[in-house]
Amino acid sequence: MINSVLRPWMWCVWVSFIISFSVPVSYAQSEPTQLSYLVESEQPLNLDKVMALPTSAWQTVADNEVSFGYTTQVHWFTAQFNAATHDRVLHIGYPLLDDLQLYFVRNGRVIAEQRLGDHQPYQQRPIDHKNFVVELPDQQALTVYMRVRTESSMRFSFQLWQPIEFHQQQQYLAAATALYFGLLLCMAVYNCFSFGVTRDVSFLNYAAYIVSIGLLLAGLDGTGYQYLWPDSPWLQDRIVTMIGSLVFIFATQVAAQVLRTRERSPNLHRALRIAQGVYAIIFSASLLFSYSTIIPYVLVAAVVGCMQLMLTGIILWRRGLNYARIYTLALGCLLFAISCNALGYLGWFDSIFIQRYAIMLASAIEIMLLSLVLAIRFNDDRRHRLLAEQRLNSELEQMVQQRTQELEQALEQLHVANVELDKKSKQDRLTGLFNRGYMDEELPREIRRAKRNGQDLTLMMLDIDHFKALNDEYGHLLGDAVLIKLAESLQNFTQRGGDRVFRYGGEEFAILMPGTDEAGARETAMRLAEVIRSMPIEHRAMQLHITVSIGIAVYYAATTEVTPEAFIGAADDALYRAKNAGRDQIRFARIEAPFQ
């Protein structure tokens, strides 16, 4: 069961998610802006002093994307907004900024101000969004000043939008983000279920690893502060360092279990345990020390940890562990993303979009590949267990080989008997024709086949005329001989491969003829009636002859619908009319609408 841990539909959904993040998103702004900045020196600045500074004191920000790395200095930013005929919102695209003070100024006077940051309770934000979004006070021209202080990386995008365009642009990223976290949740639940079925703790540790990855990305993306812990600025301030440490604690645990390092390489296993201890220390320190103090160690530990896990996979790969190749590829994807993220935080990489979502893409690929590794490892272990069981059972198999052969012979005889019994259950014992029970099975299938292929289908019902008088005058033995003789004639007359003859009951017979229309059925019935009239029946040195009444129902599959009961009822009604017309007659019932 677990060998299908990644069903084809899950692979399709993962690929859809990766493609959704791979499509470039338009960042066209509704109004061009030019962001400038200055760094506050040792002497603190207030708004009045900042406004009084000359233009030469400000430096421009390329593409309005700030990426200054880790710094404890306070930065001031400013931008001029022209008058417009529509409302506008300001989007500051980075959720981990600690403190933002926004001042909207016109003619040297502050007309509005707003304080934001993840050190503030989430409910104080003017607009419900994972990043910082503020509506401009009015549509007139104004200047915005922004004071930013943060222990995280000084990095964000600065964009001015019309509200409708902003929400349209955000819908795409919101959908992709929701898909990502939904997939992580599904994978975590699935692995918990797998643990419940197999009791293999590897699945439980992998589920914990997936959850920790999800919480880390929720903290980096701002989704966690928006939905999971909006009332806890303390947790938001430490979520990256805390959960980042947990991610690698569970990653090393998964690596040790999936790659079986305890059995395959005690030295590698010992190194993984030491790394776990280091991550546990960093986790404990993140509860006591500030974010700015711990984050450098977390970033270094993340890069070193990925390299260690990759090296572990490469070593075991070279030692012949086949699925270690996939494991190494998965860790390589994550290492690349973490390296991009770390370089971005340090200010060496200025593509905020790539930096923000590269780790999501890489973690999605990594989780997919690690799930595949876990499935392969589980199947490999199961195969080894089966081989061991086979070796242990080889002697027992030799002892019972003779009994097994006897059992196989008995099963073969039973199979032959079942086939013969099934054949007899479909046959009429007297005539050897198919019986009514088999006709009840075949007729619905033929109706469906006719409907699917658009072919006509004919059901012919035959009844021996005056059969009761024949029985009464000459006895039941002659009646049986008549039935057998008629059955042989019907079998010889129907030579087409698809035609089948049934003894419907008593002296009544049925012929099912696929692909036969009304004209063909009429011609066949006339020839059959003539054959039966001329058929001699020997009895005590004399010859007897019989006639039959025939009722025919034709189903035109291209234009009508019919049920098996209605089809039989129509043919039977035609037979009844043929007998009432004086017997030795042929009557038709064409199916033009469902028979009532």
Q: Are 20 and 176 in contact (CB under 8 A)?
A: yes
3-state secondary structure 113-151: EEEECCCCCHHHCCCCCCCEEEECCCCCCEEEEEEEECC
Q: Determine the number of helices (DSSP H) and then strands (DSSP E) in the chain.
A: 17, 17
Q: Exposed/middle/buried for 81, CB within 10 Å: 0-12, 13-18, 19+?
A: buried
Per-residue b or e along 172-211, where b marks 16 or more CB atoms closer than 10 Å to that residue's CB? ebeebbebbbebbeebbebbbebbeeeebebbbbbbbbbb
For residue 411, give both structure tokens: 């099963």
27: left (phi over 0), alpha (psi -120 to 50) or beta: alpha
How many C-beta neighbours within 10 Å does residue 480 have? 13
User: Looking at residue 2, what DSSP letter applies?
Assistant: G
Torsion (CA) 314, 318, 323, 324 in degrees, nearest 10? -20
Helical (H) or strand (E) element with 462 = strand 456-464
Amino acid at 41: S
For residue 15, give both structure tokens: 């690929």
For residue 268, give both structure tokens: 């590698």
For residue 434, give both structure tokens: 């198919």
To the query of whether residue 507 is one of the catalytic residues in this protein, the response is: yes
Helical (H) or strand (E) element with 443 = helix 436-453
Which one of 65, 366, 446, 507 is the catalytic residue? Answer: 507
- Residues noted as catalytic: 507
